[in-house]
Structures are given as structure tokens and as C-alpha cells.
Structure 1
Amino acid sequence: MNDKAGVFTISLDTELAWGMFDKSNIDKYEHAYRNTPEVINRLCELFDEYEIPATWAVVSHLLEDCDGDHSDRMSPDLKWVDDWFGKLPCASGMDEDLWYAPWLIDRIQDCETEQEIGLHGSTHMQLGASSCSRQHAEEEIRIGVETLRAHGVEAKTFVFPRNDIGHVDVLREHKIKTFRGSDDRWYEQAPVPSTVKAPLRFADEATRRAPPVVEPIERNGVIEIPGSQVFRPSYGGWQYTPGESSVLRAIKGLQCVAQTGGIFHLWFHPFNLGHNPDQELGKLERVLKVASKLVKEDKIVSLNNNMIREKCGSI
């Protein structure tokens, strides 16, 4: 292996419908959620075919079927939802196809290519929100870590729900070593209103702008790996960008990291590929083919987030 080679890494926000329960728009994505188990299975097959180790950040509540009693936890006072734990799907009965995936850990671990299972919170709580206290964060992270541990997984990587970063020191206390940072664009890392971010994101896609190459950063004893590019789906307005811009941007990212070193960090939600699995997985496969070719040419290496940390040196 070329020690100076650039690094390609993928992280996946693995949540099914948990990512939207507090936004009351589950129906909008229900078709994609129901296709997500198929997408996850096919992603595992692709990662094995092209020898891609990825990081799967899992909402741990997917793994447990509770009775809805969260009386031991304190709800954050969030502006967009009255009672966080009262709103949870398990508090009112749940459609298991949307909220419950006990098979998930076994399927990821069955991959021939080493995959990392990380944490995306226990209930997808937005830890960087102003009303999310340290106590909220501690409970959310602790319970998630304990749930994964009960399934034989020690979480080393965390992905903050909605990339809203907060209470990084709590990660360290629970022996989490790595987290995905915001994408390395000024408007993603600054306190910019969403009404401003949306057109800037669209402009990046529309102009097929090369995503940034990033470097790991130490934050409070934890390694941050900033994002480079969201792999956008062909719906939700993104279909109006020039054809397959997400593919072409990702290939540019791979070519850049092969030339300059550093890290190209691609990320997405598996359900993003669920609206049209054949089309979206076909687009991703084009990217993986290029990555595999560059690996074979010894121009890049493909690592999951924890492998990057180990390469950087343990904390």
C-alpha cells in the first residue's frame, strides 16, 4: 500500500424513518423507506464486489422493540416538536417495516469486506440544537452505545443527526474516537440560514463543482473527519440539476484525492437510494468502479472512518 495515497471513505446515515419522525413528513418518503432493506442488502453486495469498507452509522432504536416507555428520559425543549419522547413511533405503536430492523447488524457484519458499525444516536436527537443540554446528549449517546454493545458492537464512530454537532466531549467519555464533521464548505460550517444554504447546495450540484479534499482534525480528543460530498438522489428537486451531477462530482473528488492526497469523504442515507433503487444504485456503482480502479493502481486507498483514525494514530 502507498502510505501517501489519498483516502476514499464512505459513511452512511442508517436510520430508515427515524430521521424524519419529528418532522411529520414520513408519508413523503414512505416508498423509499420500504425499499431500504433491499437497498442495504444491495449496498453490501456492491461493497463486497468493489472491496469498499464503509462506515454505517446506525440509529440504535432500530434494533430494539420497546413498549414506548421513556419516562426515565427528559425531552429536550425543541421548537419543532412538543414532546420528543411522546412523539417517538414506539409510543403509539409502530409499523415495523419503517422503524424496526433487528436484522441490520448481522447483514452488515456478513459482508466479506470489513464494514464499520457506528452510532447515529439512539433516537436521532439533534444534539447541536440550542435546547439540547449536555444531559440530553449524555443519555442519547450512552443508551445508543449500550444498545450497540448488547448486539456485540463497540461504537467507535459517531455521525451527528442532521450534521448538527454538539457535546463532542460526551463522545470521548463513551470511548467514541471519530465523528463526521460538516461538509467542508463555508456555508455548511457557518451559522447560515437554511434558506441560504439550499441554493448554494443546488449551485454546487448544478455547476458540477469538485467536492473538497479534507483532512482529519482533532476536536476535544476525538478525530473529526469532515464531509466532502453528499451523494444526492434524483428527486426532491435534485432531478433538476444537470444529468448525473452527483456521479460526476464524486468522480472528480476521487481524481482530486488521487492527485493531492488527503481524504474524499462521500456520504448519504441508504433510504436516499430507495425511491428508485436500480437507478440510484447504478449511479453509485459507477463511482465505486472508479474508486476500485484507482485502488488497484495504488493511487488511493479505501478505508472506513475508524481505519482512518487508526492510520492517523490512536487517541
Structure 2
Amino acid sequence: MKKGKFVISLDFELVWGVFDHITLNKKIAYFDNTRKVIPHMLACFEKHEIKVTWATVGMLFNENWEEWLANLPDEKPTYTNLKLDAYAYGLEHRSAGLDRFFFAPDLIRFIQSTPGQELATHTYSHYYCLETGQTKRQFECDLDLAKKMATQFGATLHSLVFPRNQWNPDYLFSCQERGITQLRSNPDAWYWKDTSQSTLATKLFRTGDAYLPLGSTSYPMEKVTADFVTAQPASRFLRPHHGLSFLNSLRLQRIKNEMLQAAKEGAVYHLWWHPHNFGDHPKESMEALQEIAKWYLHLQAKFGFESVTMADLTAKLY
């Protein structure tokens, strides 16, 4: 009997993933909570023997602004939407005294020292692969720099998650050339097809799907496809804690039911979120994660449900 596979991937970004949507001085507690909760996440994963892929923005590897300024790509992205320019944003905020939200080498080393964790990439600058103005050459320069930063930490990158899930098939060969063997792809549902554009309908369905059975979730190993690199579809986004308790219960039960189905059917279930999604309600968010972790151990004991990283999953295909 096939054993189901439980994959967790985290988009580790801090400020670099959301700066175009926030006012930084209003998010100090939010990002401080994020930094504090990450070691608790890691302790939970270690205790429950859960393997996790940490898709990490390369800029977080820098120790300070001096190192950040010394690590510039050969070509920067030339987005038409200037609000997406991480380099301009960094220059504007480097004197804000909030370096801990822009750099996280301490947390990266914590990840590396925790058993079962895979250090992966979320590109160097949280690069948007479907935005107008940027080019494939600029993406390649960005990825080269991400690889360089990881090498300085003794890590080799094999897995990648496109920022904001902007899946660009034209860039897959560039990934393969740089040693990337697997990427997370989007769920197989119409409201996840184009993540660079969001309509009211796609937002409603993506939100509703977290609580109600609207779309596909787990999938057979055969659905993990290879086109230059292995594409591993996401199953479910662990949405942030909600103020309404019944929605939190629905969200958690939805995930547990999907995990159970995958374990019974010998299928893959891929859960993902951003560590900063725990920033507003760290205590309640950790309680939910603990419940998911305990449920995983139950399914592991009963059905042989197996926790794997993205790299592990690809390795099991060959």
C-alpha cells in the first residue's frame, strides 16, 4: 500500500515579501512576533519529527546594510510598477533602525541546526516572475545571488518557491541550470491560475476554499510532473488566525480532513504559509500548528503518513 506524503513549505520573507502592502512603523509588533515565533515553530517540528522546506528570501542572509549594499546583482529587476522595487525600498528604510526585520542570519542558522529542515530559496529579492518590465536575464542574476548567499552558509539550494506564486514556465530551464530540481506550483483550480492578477471572484474563492470544500487538495504522486524541474502542486494555504472562532475551527477541520484523506489514499498533501502569518496572533497560531502536528503523528502511526521535504518528495520519484 502506498504511503501518503505530508509536505510543508514556508515562504520566509519578513519585510521583503510585503513591503509594498504595509506601513512599516505600524508593523513593528507584527514582525517582532514573527521573529519570536519562528523558534517555537522549529521546536514543534522537531518534537513531532516533521520535515519542512523553508523557501527563504536571499536578502535575509545578509548581516547588515553594509553587506546588503555589497551584494547587488549584475542586473536588477526593472518592474514597470516601481512599488515592487526591493532595492529602492531598502535604500529608503536602511536608517529606520529596524534591521532585524530585513536581515535574519540568526534565524537561518537556527533553521539549519534543526533536524529535518530543508533550506530552499524564495529568490534573492522576492523576485516577481510575471510582472511587466522584468526579464529572464534579471531573474537569472537574482537566482545566482541567492545561490551565492546560501553557499556562504554552507547550503546548496535545490528547491524554489516563486514569490507570490507567480509561476513562469519560461524560467524553468534557468532554474534547472542553477541546480534547482523542484518548485512548488499552484493548486489545480481556476482561481489559482494567474496569481499576478487578483479579481474579486478569485479572492472570494481562495478565501472560501480555506473553510469549505471548493477545490482540489491532495493528489497522487503521478501528478508531480517534471518539465526541466519537478513541479509539486500546493494543496492548502494555512490562513492566518481569524477573529471569529468558528472560522478557525472550520479552517483547522478542513486541513485535518484533507490530511486524513491523503493518508488513507497514499496521496500527497502540501501545506504552506508564511511565518509572518503568525505575527498578529502568535499564541493562537501556535496552538493550531500544535494540533496539526499531533494529527500528523496520529496519521503517521495509523496509516504510515510520511513527512517529507520538497527535495525528499522529488527523490522518491526516481
TM-score (norm 2): 0.89
Residue identity matched to 2:41: L
* Equivalent residue in structure 2 for 1:284, among 289, 306, 310: 289
- Of the candidates 108, 111, 117, which is equivalent to residue 108 of structure 1? 111
Task: Look up the equivalent residue of 1:137 and give its one-letter code.
Answer: F
CA distance in 2 between counterparts of 1:206 and 1:213 reads 16
Partner of 1:304: 309
Supply the distance in 2 between the matched residues of 1:263 and 1:28 (Cα, whole angstroms): 39
How far the C-alpha of 1:276 sits from its partner, in A, is: 1.5
Aligned length: 308
Which stretch has the larger CA shift, 243-252 or 119-128? 243-252
Seen in structure 2, the aligned counterparts of structure 1 residues 76 and 46 have a Cα distance that, compared at 3 Å, is same
Alpha-carbon displacement from aligned partner over 1:213-244 (angstroms, at most 9, x marks no partner):
13453343201111100001124xx7487232
Task: Report 1:142-157 matches (<5 A).
Answer: 142-157=144-159
The one-letter code of the counterpart of 1:9 is V
Match of residue 125 from structure 1: 127
- Call closer, same or farther: CA 1:26–1:225 in 2, change over 3 Å: farther
Question: What is the CA–CA distance in structure 2 between the aligned matches of 1:165 and 1:188, rounded to whole Å?
Answer: 10
**Root-mean-square deviation over aligned CA pairs:** 2.3
- 1:71 shift after superposition: 7.9
Q: TM-score, normalised by structure 1?
A: 0.89
Q: Does 1:259 align with 2:259?
A: no
- Aligned pairs for 1:32-111 within 5 A: 32-64=30-62, 65-67=64-66, 68=69, 70=72, 72-79=74-81, 81=83, 83-89=85-91, 92-93=94-95, 95-111=98-114
Tell whether the 8 Å contact from 1:211 to 1:229 is kept in structure 2 after alignment: no
SS in structure 2 of the partner of residue 77 of structure 1 = coil
Cα separation, 2, equivalents of 1:175 and 1:129: 24
- Measure how far apart 1:123 and its partner are: 1.1
Deviation string 1:143-197 (CA, Å, 9 cap, x unpaired) is: 0011001111101100111001121221101001111111232210257633221
2:231 corresponds in structure 1 to 224
Q: Which amino acid is 2:88 matched to?
A: G
Alignment match, 1:207: 212
Q: Which amino acid aligns with 2:87?
A: F
| SS, match of residue 103 in structure 1 | helix
The AA in structure 2 aligned to 1:280 is S
User: Does the C-alpha gap of structure 1 residues 201 and 241 become closer, same or farther in structure 2, counting only changes over 3 Å?
Assistant: farther
Contact 2:54–2:119 at 8 Å: present in 1 too? yes
The within-5 A match list for 1:169-184 is 169-184=173-188
Q: 1:33 to 1:177 in 2, by over 3 A?
A: same
Gaps of 5+ in 2: none
Q: Which range moved further: 244-253 or 168-177? A: 244-253
CA distance in 1 between counterparts of 2:188 and 2:27 reads 28
| Amino acid corresponding to residue 309 of structure 2 in structure 1 | N
Please say if residues 20 and 26 of structure 1, whose CA atoms lie closer than 8 Å, have aligned partners that are also in contact. Answer: no
Change over 3 Å in CA distance of 1:309–1:37 after alignment to 2: same
Identity of aligned residues (%): 24
Task: Tell me, yes or no, if the aligned pair for 2:183 and 2:230 is still in contact at 8 Å.
Answer: yes
Counterparts of 1:159 and 1:311 in 2: how far apart (Å)?
Answer: 19
